Amino acid sequence: TSEEVAQVGTISANGEKEIGAYIAEAMQKVGNEGVITVEEAKTAETELEVVEGMQFDRGYLSPYFVTNAEKMVAELEDAYVLLHEKKLSNLQAMLPILEAVVQTGKPLLIISEDVEGEALATLVVNKLRGGLKIAAVKAPGFGDRRKAMLEDIAVLTGGTVISEDVGIKLENVTVEMLGRVKKVTITKENTILVDGAGQKSDIEGRVAQIKAQIEETTSDYDKEKLQERLAKLAGGVAVIRVGGATEIEVKEKKDRIDDALNA
C-alpha cells in the first residue's frame, strides 16, 4: 500500500514525513518499477511532475564521460540524442553531425550498438578538452529487440533511428534527425532519459502497437519482453523538484531524498 511505501520512504528520509509522502506519491504515479528522479527546483516549493521518459540498463561506455565525479554520473541537460543501429567505429562518418551539434552549443548523447576504437577515443578527447559535452552508451536489448527498443527511444525523443536499412548514412545525418531530451543521467549501469521531445500522440500510437503485439504473440518469452518495453515506454518518469529557502537547504533535502530512494 502507499502508506507502507510512505513509511519506508519516511524512515529512510530521516523521518521527514513530507519527503516520504512525495516518494509514495511518485511511486503511485509510475508504479514500483517506475523511474523516480530528483532535481533542484528553481522555487521554494517542492513539486512532483510525471514526464515522458524511460530508463534502460546500459551505462556509460567510458568513465571519462562522467560529469559529476562525486556521484560518478554523467549528466546532460537539454541534449540531442543520436540513435544509431550499428557499431560506430569510423570517425570520419561521424564528424559532420558532431560539428553540427557543436554549433548548437547543446550536449549530445549517442546510443548505438557500440562505440569503439578511434570513434570512442575521439569522443573522450573532445569531452575532456571541453569542446563537446557528450556521452555514449550501448543500445539496450539484442538483435531484433534492440532495433525495436531504439525505435521506442526514437518515438520518445522525437528522433530517427539511423540505419543503413532505411538508407540513411551517418555522414548525411542532420540535426533534425536527432532526438531531444531535457535531461539525461547515466550511471555505470543505467541510463535515464527524462522528458523526451516526442509527440504524445506518437508515443500513444507506439504503446497501442506494442499492446497489440502482446495480444497476438503466443510465446511467453516474447510476451514478457514486450511487456517490459510497454512498461518502459508507458510508465514515464516521476520528477521530484526539491525546493527550499536556501541553496544549502535544497541540497540537503535533495541528498536526503536521493538516499531514501536508494534505500
User: What pLDDT is recorded for position 83?
Assistant: 98
Confidence at residue 80, expressed as pLDDT on a 0 to 100 scale: 99
Tell me whether the CATH fold assigned to 1-52+236-263 matches the one assigned to 54-198. no
Average pLDDT of the segment spanning 100-121: 95
Rounded to whole angstroms, the Cα distance separating 24 from 21 reads 5
Is the CB of residue 237 less than 8 Å from the CB of residue 192? yes
Band of the pLDDT at 151, cuts 50, 70, 90? very high
The letter for the amino acid at 176 is: E
Residue 261 has pLDDT above 60, yes or no: yes
The arithmetic mean of pLDDT across residues 196-222, rounded, is: 96
**Could you tell me which residue, 186 or 6, shows the higher pLDDT?**
186
Query: Is the pLDDT higher at 135 or at 24?
Result: 135
Tell which wins on pLDDT, 47 or 10.
47
CATH topology classification for 54-198: GroEL (3.50.7)
Highest mean pLDDT out of 47-51, 158-162, 235-239: 158-162
Domain ranges of the chain: 1-52+236-263, 54-198
Mean predicted lDDT score pLDDT of the chain: 90
Q: How far apart are the first and last CA of the chain?
A: 17
Fold exhibited by the domain 1-52+236-263: GROEL; domain 2 (3.30.260)
Per-residue pLDDT band for 167 (boundaries 50, 70, 90) equals confident
The yes-or-no verdict on residue 176 having pLDDT over 90 is yes
Mean pLDDT of 4-27: 70
Which residue type occupies 114?
D
